[in-house]
Chain A
Amino acid sequence: MFRGRRSRLVGMAYLAPAVIFVLVFTVYPLGQMIWMSFHNWSLITPPRWVGLGNYQRALADRQYWVSFLFTLKYTAIITPILIVGGYLLALLTVERSPLRRLTRTTVFIPVVIGLGVSSLLWYWLFSTDFGLINKALLDLGIISKPVLWLGVDADRSMMAIIASVVWKVMGFGMILFVGAIQAIPTEINEASLVDGASYWQRVTRVVLPLTLRSVLLVTLVSVIGSLLAFDQFYIMTAGQPQNETATSVFYVYLNSFPYLRLGYGAALSMILALTILAFTVVQLLLTRRSHA
């Protein structure tokens, strides 16, 4: 459109603010984090070069492993629930009827509210003496005395938090799956109907293979989001009992801010960022292959 030396300068001028912003507020912090991760620094004392010391320290740090494995377990449990649940909801709501559309809209509502706010809502629902969940379970005779859901037992806390997050984000996968299913050419669907395939045969042999790319995509988003989980644990358990429910991001936060171990916190951030990067690369490769 615009050519020549002068317009090149004009184009660069349009681009410059965004480039400068990203250099200052993303690239520079990234560089500083890498630098910090090789130093021992607590704000009070000047930074001291320790090489890979912070990384070695992480490997020997019991709480680091507790946090990492807890986060991994949380991710491994919640991701299949979100994918299978989201897909079933998509199959249900992709049909064009007012009730199905209403269901789709309703399931999606929690996606737009904040994770922090939804965690506060569920913090109350799961509260031992004041929450409606214990009240309902007692009234239905499923439990005989109130259950201590949050912050007492790590597994039970995780179950409660998973329930709340599934409610909050399942609609995200559903919407993307609905989009992918709708994108399947009508002829393919009609052809399989003529062939006399049953509904579930069509789902497993036609619909699912043709929407595999979006399944991988939602898996990627869900895995990354779960590995970075913080709000729900900070609000609902505050890491209790004994930091057993402190996720990886939570442990970075604890080291960097309350404990002011800036170098160590940066090294933990680096490990986290590299883990995320590895997942992103693997999943993008998978996605590309399935697309080709």
Chain B
Amino acid sequence: MTATVARRQRTRVATTRARARGRSGYLLGAICVAICAVMVAPLVASVLASVKPTAEAAASPPTYLPHGLSLDSYERLWTYQQGLPTYLFNSLGTAVLAIAFTLALTVPAAYALARFEIPGKEVIFVVLLLALIVPYQALLTPMFLLFAKVGLTNTLVGLAILHTAIQLPFSLYVLRNSLSAVPRELEEAAIVDGASSWQVLLRILVPATVPAIVTVALFAFIMSWNEFLGALVLMSRGSSFTLPLILAAARTETSLGGTDWGMLQAGVTISVIPCVLVYLLLQRYYVSGLMSGAVK
């Protein structure tokens, strides 16, 4: 396989280089395979640990490959404390709300910044990007006090608001750039036909910026699904825990005289699956988002 791969290097620049380097192509191919193996190994190990039968999952020293297959670990996770459905619901609900809040706030704001003459627009834009330079980790105490006052602690809405605050600058930045890049001719024709600004946004600009909107939603989902410290601070009640929180709590829990490693890895596997799936399906949007987000 490596040989065919080496032969296939036919980009303008690479061809000469590949020929010049000759045999090193095989070596580099082998390095690639080794790197892939190292990167995937921990994830594979986790999945395998999650399907070991109960006794084997708790064995010391551990086995590399499961000697038997069983979903016991998943069954224990399903009924652990408040039960997996509760934690899945909390994690997913928070992520969906965070996506909704982020889009509802940033699409119109990006529209205003890209298309309207507003006094002090540049200053407002900078203020909206403030969270880029103030780390949210530093703002958690005042956030907690504010949320406690209005009854938003231990609620999905509260956690989603925090996640929206974290994600807002990036989203606004990406959407504003994308909206600014849409040619104005279509809108002008629509305005001549008597379309309102709201219709222009919904019928012309939103369809024209779908990739940016997908990118923003994707990043909001991944951030919210994975976020740990904010959830740890805002969610103190067991029934409002998200998936990472309950798993972190379970890591030191002694069930049968020790950590339930099989159940822990079942939880890790379940947490990882949506992220990897979404990434593999929407890779293009992910990479473009990283590029535009990093080049501040």
On whether A190 and B12 interact (CB within 8 A), knowing A12-B118, A124-B264, A129-B61, the answer reads yes
Taking CB atoms, residues of chain A closer than 8 Å to B168 are 18, 21-22
Taking CB atoms, residues of chain A closer than 8 Å to B172 are 18
The distance in angstroms between the C-alpha atoms of A218 and B32, with both chains bound, is 23
- Interface check B92, CB cutoff 8 A: no
Taking CB atoms, residues of chain A closer than 8 Å to B247 are 116-117, 120
- Interface check A152, CB cutoff 8 A: no
Whether B248 and A235, one on each chain, are in contact in the complex, defined by CB atoms closer than 8 angstroms, is yes
Residue of B nearest to A2 (CB): B116
Whether A120 and B115, one on each chain, are in contact in the complex, defined by CB atoms closer than 8 angstroms, is no
Whether B134 and A273, one on each chain, are in contact in the complex, defined by CB atoms closer than 8 angstroms, is yes
The distance in angstroms between the C-alpha atoms of A22 and B116, with both chains bound, is 20
Whether B35 and A89, one on each chain, are in contact in the complex, defined by CB atoms closer than 8 angstroms, is yes
The distance in angstroms between the C-alpha atoms of A3 and B118, with both chains bound, is 9
Of A1, A105, A107, A121, chain B has the most CB atoms within 10 Å of the CB of A121
The distance in angstroms between the C-alpha atoms of A277 and B124, with both chains bound, is 20
- In this complex, how many residues of chain A approach chain B with their Cβ under 8 Å: the count is 98
- Interface check B119, CB cutoff 8 A: yes
Taking CB atoms, residues of chain A closer than 8 Å to B279 are 108-109, 112
The distance in angstroms between the C-alpha atoms of A133 and B184, with both chains bound, is 58
Taking CB atoms, residues of chain A closer than 8 Å to B28 are 92
Residues in A66-111 with C-beta less than 8 Å from chain B: 89, 92-93, 95-100, 102-103, 105-110
The distance in angstroms between the C-alpha atoms of A8 and B187, with both chains bound, is 17
Whether A199 and B21, one on each chain, are in contact in the complex, defined by CB atoms closer than 8 angstroms, is yes
Whether A175 and B141, one on each chain, are in contact in the complex, defined by CB atoms closer than 8 angstroms, is no
Whether B272 and A18, one on each chain, are in contact in the complex, defined by CB atoms closer than 8 angstroms, is no
Residue of B nearest to A33 (CB): B142
Residues in B94-139 with C-beta less than 8 Å from chain A: 104-106, 108-109, 111-113, 115-119, 124, 127-128, 130-131, 133-135, 137-139
CB A115 to nearest CB in B, in angstroms, measures 7
Whether A273 and B138, one on each chain, are in contact in the complex, defined by CB atoms closer than 8 angstroms, is yes
- Interface check B294, CB cutoff 8 A: yes
Residues in B24-77 with C-beta less than 8 Å from chain A: 28-29, 31-33, 35-36, 38-40, 42-43, 45-46, 49, 58-62, 64
The distance in angstroms between the C-alpha atoms of A28 and B165, with both chains bound, is 12
Taking CB atoms, residues of chain B closer than 8 Å to A252 are 137-138
- Interface check B295, CB cutoff 8 A: yes
Whether B138 and A270, one on each chain, are in contact in the complex, defined by CB atoms closer than 8 angstroms, is yes
Taking CB atoms, residues of chain B closer than 8 Å to A130 are 58-62, 258-259, 261
The 0/1 profile, CB within 8 Å of A marked 1, for residues 232-254 of chain B is 11000000000010011001100
Taking CB atoms, residues of chain A closer than 8 Å to B61 are 129-130, 134-135, 138
Taking CB atoms, residues of chain B closer than 8 Å to A265 are 141
- Interface check B16, CB cutoff 8 A: yes
Whether A99 and B29, one on each chain, are in contact in the complex, defined by CB atoms closer than 8 angstroms, is yes
The distance in angstroms between the C-alpha atoms of A108 and B287, with both chains bound, is 10
Whether A131 and B108, one on each chain, are in contact in the complex, defined by CB atoms closer than 8 angstroms, is no
On whether A186 and B13 interact (CB within 8 A), knowing A2-B117, A100-B32, A120-B268, the answer reads yes
The distance in angstroms between the C-alpha atoms of A224 and B290, with both chains bound, is 16
Whether A15 and B62, one on each chain, are in contact in the complex, defined by CB atoms closer than 8 angstroms, is no
Q: Out of A17, A110, A238, A277, which one reaches B39, CB within 8 Å?
A: A110
Whether A114 and B244, one on each chain, are in contact in the complex, defined by CB atoms closer than 8 angstroms, is yes
- Interface check B225, CB cutoff 8 A: yes
Residues in A176-232 with C-beta less than 8 Å from chain B: 176, 179, 186, 189-190, 193, 199, 214, 217-218, 221, 224, 228, 230-231
Whether B248 and A120, one on each chain, are in contact in the complex, defined by CB atoms closer than 8 angstroms, is yes
Whether B143 and A25, one on each chain, are in contact in the complex, defined by CB atoms closer than 8 angstroms, is yes
Whether A117 and B164, one on each chain, are in contact in the complex, defined by CB atoms closer than 8 angstroms, is no
Residue of A nearest to B243 (CB): A117
On whether A121 and B42 interact (CB within 8 A), knowing A109-B279, A190-B13, A257-B233, the answer reads yes
Q: Out of B162, B244, B278, which one reaches A116, CB within 8 Å?
A: B244
Whether A14 and B134, one on each chain, are in contact in the complex, defined by CB atoms closer than 8 angstroms, is no
Whether A231 and B276, one on each chain, are in contact in the complex, defined by CB atoms closer than 8 angstroms, is no
Jot down 12 A-B pairs with beta carbons below 8 A, ordered by A: A8-B119, A14-B109, A14-B197, A18-B168, A27-B130, A28-B142, A32-B142, A97-B6, A109-B279, A112-B286, A230-B228, A231-B229
What 16 new A-B contacts, CB under 8 Å, besides A1-B191, A109-B276, A130-B62?
A2-B197, A10-B197, A12-B116, A12-B118, A103-B35, A110-B43, A112-B279, A114-B226, A117-B244, A124-B265, A129-B60, A199-B17, A218-B294, A230-B229, A238-B252, A262-B145
Please give me the 4 A-B residue pairs with the lowest Cβ-Cβ distance, nearest first.
A11-B116, A114-B226, A18-B109, A116-B228
